[in-house]
């Protein structure tokens, strides 16, 4: 290794704190997965004839791309001759590159570089704009593919996630390599895209490891690899050491993580403050206990509206009815868009004296159907006093389940029947229910 001096730190057995989950008796294995040249690779699915060529993605949609599409049509995109694609050398504008294929990176072009500057380095590179709809589609697809195999997934943006391998079958085999291979293969089969995965005792090391064998690579890091594989790296490789901290460290003669690890923690605390100084030292020693944070499932989804003027249930029946139906439709659309069904439907009213009242009904079947929700919410509405005028009306769907995760007998049942099965369980609740 090249960690400063011969007297540099030697990793002790306990250099990386591994949290041993009591349930499984297994050591923590955390993966970081990052898609390869993501925006460019998504375009290559559409234009496979460009594979292996230098390609940069950047700039807004341009006339030339529209013409390309209009002339050839979606169906024939893969047969458009390479010569018809726009070249970077012909680009004029202030756009920056979002990403470049590995073939283009060889010329020194990459993310965040101005396109006209990049054109000087690689004039023959092809250039295509970002298609955000397509990017979002593939982002969702690769993430759902992972979640089917390993449920503990932390979303870190459009093309990267952390995955907790610890208790997943295969997650410990060969340090995580077996599961990483399975995930790579599944993503490729579902999307045609490649990714790179690092597996390590924690997120900090996994994030560094995923870059070691890019593209389409897997890197396995164990505690014992700290000296040989982590300490030679520049301090900037740590997620969280940005340009400013990197510069300050360089000013102190600290360039590699080994050099950072060799510092007395107090030296770093004196210069970076207590929290950052201590964190820098811990990071250099590969210590990180932060958990993989999976997105919490929503407990309920609701829509509510405060009226422009207070409405009366009888005198403003038509207006109130229309708003009520709209709210139910919005809740149904929210559920459907996010892939949920609800077992409990409730309403909330706020009277002109600001008192709040809620009612709900829980049934045996789930629903995401607007008409069913409207019907049940209407039954709830019949159970509240309606003499006073109303300031606010809300509709809430609770007791949610993911579509496909409710019992088979229920998922086969048409939603329309759900209403009939509902039994009334009534209670008056407070605001936070919504």
- What is the contact surface with ligand DCP in residues (CB under 6 A)? 34-39, 98-99, 111-112, 158-159, 214-215
Three-class SS state of 325: helix
Taking the complex as a whole, the smallest distance from the CB of residue 46 to ligand DCP amounts, in Å, to: 15
Decide: 338 and 403 in contact? Cβ < 8 Å.
no
Nearer to ligand DCP, 38 or 162 (CB): 38
Taking the complex as a whole, the smallest distance from the CB of residue 132 to Mg ion amounts, in Å, to: 16
Residue 112 interacts with, from ligand DCP, Mg ion, none (CB under 5-8 Å by kind): ligand DCP
Nearer to ligand DCP, 97 or 292 (CB): 97
Q: Where are the beta strands (DSSP E) in 172-324?
A: 195-200, 218-220, 301-311
C-alpha span between 343 and 364 (Å, rounded) = 7
Nearer to ligand DCP, 216 or 300 (CB): 216
Taking the complex as a whole, the smallest distance from the CB of residue 207 to Mg ion amounts, in Å, to: 12
C-alpha span between 311 and 316 (Å, rounded) = 6
Taking the complex as a whole, the smallest distance from the CB of residue 241 to Mg ion amounts, in Å, to: 19
Q: Which of 160, 223, 227, 259 is catalytic?
A: 160
Is position 35 an interface residue for Mg ion (rule: CB under 5 A)? yes
User: Which position has the token pair 């995965």?
Assistant: 197
Is position 3 an interface residue for Mg ion (rule: CB under 5 A)? no
Other CB atoms within 10 Å distance of the CB of residue 325: 17
Q: Are strands 126-128 and 55-58 parallel, antiparallel or unpaired?
A: parallel
Nearer to Mg ion, 190 or 214 (CB): 214
Decide: 164 and 292 in contact? Cβ < 8 Å.
yes
Residue 39 interacts with, from Mg ion, ligand DCP, none (CB under 5-8 Å by kind): ligand DCP
Three-class SS state of 200: strand
* Helices 243-251 and 265-272, packing angle to 10 deg: 120
C-alpha span between 193 and 191 (Å, rounded) = 5
Confirm whether 364 is a catalytic residue. no
The stretch near Mg ion (CB under 5 A) out of 26-34, 104-112, 217-225, 300-308 is 26-34
Taking the complex as a whole, the smallest distance from the CB of residue 110 to ligand DCP amounts, in Å, to: 8
From the list 414, 400, 384, 413, the residue with the least C-alpha distance to 324 is: 384
The stretch near Mg ion (CB under 5 A) out of 27-35, 278-286, 361-369, 411-419 is 27-35
Quote the DSSP letter at residue 305. Answer: E
Residue 227 interacts with, from Mg ion, ligand DCP, none (CB under 5-8 Å by kind): none
- HSE, CB side, 13 Å, CA atoms: give it for residue 88: 29
Taking the complex as a whole, the smallest distance from the CB of residue 211 to ligand DCP amounts, in Å, to: 7
**Dihedral (C-alpha) 113, 117, 121, 125: value to the nearest 10 degrees?**
70
Nearer to ligand DCP, 207 or 287 (CB): 207
Residue 215 interacts with, from Mg ion, ligand DCP, none (CB under 5-8 Å by kind): ligand DCP
Binding site for Mg ion (CB under 5 A): 34-35, 38, 159
Q: Which residues are catalytic?
A: 160
């Amino acid at each position: 290794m090249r960690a400063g001096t011969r007297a540099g730190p030697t990793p002790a057995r306990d250099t990386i704190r591994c949290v041993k989950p009591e349930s499984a008796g297994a050591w923590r294995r955390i993966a970081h997965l990052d898609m390869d040249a993501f925006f460019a690779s998504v375009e290559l699915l559409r234009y496979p004839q460009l594979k292996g060529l230098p390609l940069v993605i950047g700039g807004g949609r341009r006339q030339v791309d529209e013409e390309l599409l209009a002339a050839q049509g979606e169906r024939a995109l893969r047969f458009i001759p390479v010569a018809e694609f726009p070249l970077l050398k012909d680009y004029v504008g202030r756009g920056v590159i979002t990403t470049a294929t590995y073939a283009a990176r060889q010329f020194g072009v990459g993310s965040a570089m101005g396109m006209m500057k990049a054109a000087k380095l690689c004039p023959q590179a092809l250039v295509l704009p970002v298609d955000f709809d397509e990017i979002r589609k593939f982002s969702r697809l690769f993430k759902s593919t992972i979640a089917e195999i390993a449920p503990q997934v932390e979303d870190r943006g459009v093309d990267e996630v952390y995955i907790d391998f610890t208790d997943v079958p295969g997650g410990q085999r060969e340090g995580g390599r077996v599961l990483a291979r399975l995930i790579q293969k599944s993503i490729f089969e579902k999307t045609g895209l490649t990714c790179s995965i690092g597996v390590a005792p924690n997120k900090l090391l996994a994030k560094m490891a995923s870059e070691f064998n890019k593209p389409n690579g897997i890197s396995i890091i164990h505690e014992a690899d700290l000296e040989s594989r982590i300490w030679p790296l520049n301090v900037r490789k740590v997620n969280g050491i940005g340009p400013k901290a990197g510069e300050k460290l360089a000013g102190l003669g600290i360039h590699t993580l080994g050099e950072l690890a060799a510092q007395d923690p107090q030296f770093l605390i004196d210069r970076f403050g207590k929290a950052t100084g201590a964190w820098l030292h811990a990071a250099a020693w590969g210590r990180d206990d932060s958990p993989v944070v999976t997105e919490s499932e929503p407990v309920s989804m609701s829509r509510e509206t405060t009226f422009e003027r207070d409405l009366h249930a009888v005198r403003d029946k038509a207006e109130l009815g229309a708003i009520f139906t709209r709210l139910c439709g919005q809740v149904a659309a929210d559920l459907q868009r996010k892939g949920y069904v609800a077992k409990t439907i409730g309403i909330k009213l706020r009277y002109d004296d600001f008192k709040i009242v809620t009612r709900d009904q829980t049934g045996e079947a789930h629903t995401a159907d607007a008409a069913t929700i409207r019907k049940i919410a209407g039954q709830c509405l019949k159970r509240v006093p309606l003499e006073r005028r109303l300031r606010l009306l809300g509709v809430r769907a609770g007791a949610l389940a993911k579509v496909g995760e409710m019992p088979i007998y229920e998922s086969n049942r048409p939603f329309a029947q759900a209403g009939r099965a509902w039994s009334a369980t009534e209670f008056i609740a407070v605001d936070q229910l919504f």
